[in-house]
Structure 1
Amino acid sequence: MVALPDNILMSAEEYLIWELTQEQRYEYWDGEVVAMTGGTRNHNRVSLNFSKILDDALADRACEVYIVDVKVQVEPGQKYFYPDVVVTCDERDRDPQLVQFPCLIIEVLSPSTEAADRGKKFAAYRQSPTLQEYVLVQVAQPAVEVFRRNEFGKWVLSEYSLGDRLLLESVNVEIAIASLYQQVQFAAEGTENQ
């Protein structure tokens, strides 16, 4: 993510109206408008794989899967983010522009977004009472981290690698980690200069 020139500041109400007229997507961080940058082919492929698997698995349930262009209202009037994939199963989610009650959020990590996804975004997402799982997916190597809210309200980390299967408890969907990386080309070690 890259901040707009001159640090454009505006109210949340102004942002929600202004952003509808923009060709590019922008997040809103406590009054500051932040431009979203494009991703790599691997980033796009992992996001697509994850969303397709979830969409197929949830097709006959009252859950909706959204990718990239649907924002999540993290804190009304404070933060609006665009996760790579978001799932809501909450009947209160009726706003056509955003998701307010997510149960699952997935961020596909890139060098330019990883610090924010792990830090400021996760800190904000944890404030959502409906969010049950937050998933971070690497694209440089096959690795997935899942943060789950336990029965005491604490977030617990589980890590998965290529041969593992992941049960997303928030939506009761099991996924082979390998299926998330279908058609993803990893850089071979030692070939950077070749």
Structure 2
Amino acid sequence: MSQPAVKHITDQEYLAFERTSQERHEFYRGEIFLMSGASFKHNIIEDNLRVIIGGFLKGKKCRSFGSNLRIHIPKNTLYTYPDILIVCDKPVFVDNEFDTLLNPAVIIEILSPSTGNYDRGAKFDLYREIESLKEYILIDSTSTHCIHYLKNADLTWTLSEAKNLADTFEVTAIALQLQLSDVYAGVE
């Protein structure tokens, strides 16, 4: 038996659908993908990061946003919702709805068992096509582990890791030192 043909839609059809949907979806190369929900641990980590980063950035040039702000990468067609993103330049949006950002400086994803491989691999490949992106940070929700990618001047990426609660890492774009014990506070 042959597989039924996949119906591809346009960016405009996706945005019209997504803006009225009760659920969130990624869009890539004409196809829509339902995004999974987040675990309790994921939500604690995201909340910790949002409080720390948001407080640190208060009154500064850069702004942080949570997972309800969509980004778009025109070079590869991806529309997605990072867990946390930071914008340091004037925000650039797809259109006048102001709900789809084009120029994040930092993207933070909180890894779960269902999305970890995608976030570490294919999604990072897609994110690297964002010219404004300077850092990509992955925080594991099932173990104490942070993977930090920093873009170099020659457009290569340097990887560093933190694996102990006493370890720190720097969000270089905003000069913020984060200690893993603060990131994982309340997570058992």
Check whether TM > 0.5.
yes
Residues 88, 99 of structure 1: 8 Å contact kept: no
Alpha-carbon distance in structure 2 between the residues aligned to 1:166 and 1:155? 16
Cα 1:176–1:8 shift into 2, 3 Å: farther
1:31 lines up with 2:30 in the alignment: yes
Any idea what SS the aligned residue of 2:121 has?
helix
Please tell me the residue identity of whatever aligns with 1:181: Y
1:69 lines up with 2:62 in the alignment: no
Residue 172 of structure 2 corresponds to 169
Residue 181 of structure 2 corresponds to 178
Residues 91, 101 of structure 2: 8 Å contact kept: no
Normalised by the size of structure 2, how large is the TM-score? Answer: 0.90
Residues 12, 77 of structure 1: 8 Å contact kept: no
More off after superposition, 93-102 vs 55-64: 93-102
Cα 1:17–1:182 shift into 2, 3 Å: same
Cα 1:164–1:77 shift into 2, 3 Å: closer
Residues 71, 83 of structure 1: 8 Å contact kept: yes
Any idea what SS the aligned residue of 1:52 has?
helix
Structural mapping, 1:20-169, within 5 Å: 20-75=19-74, 78-93=77-92, 96-161=98-163, 162-169=165-172
Q: Which runs of 5+ in 2 are unaligned?
A: none
Structural mapping, 1:2-21, within 5 Å: 9-21=8-20
Alpha-carbon distance in structure 2 between the residues aligned to 1:140 and 1:48? 16
Percent of residue pairs identical = 29
Residue 191 of structure 1 corresponds to none
Residues 76, 126 of structure 2: 8 Å contact kept: no
Residue 77 of structure 1 and its aligned partner are, at CA, apart by 7.5
Cα 1:57–1:7 shift into 2, 3 Å: farther
Q: Which runs of 5+ in 1 are unaligned?
A: 1-5, 186-194
Residues 166, 175 of structure 1: 8 Å contact kept: yes
Alpha-carbon distance in structure 2 between the residues aligned to 1:106 and 1:147? 10
Root-mean-square deviation (Å): 1.6
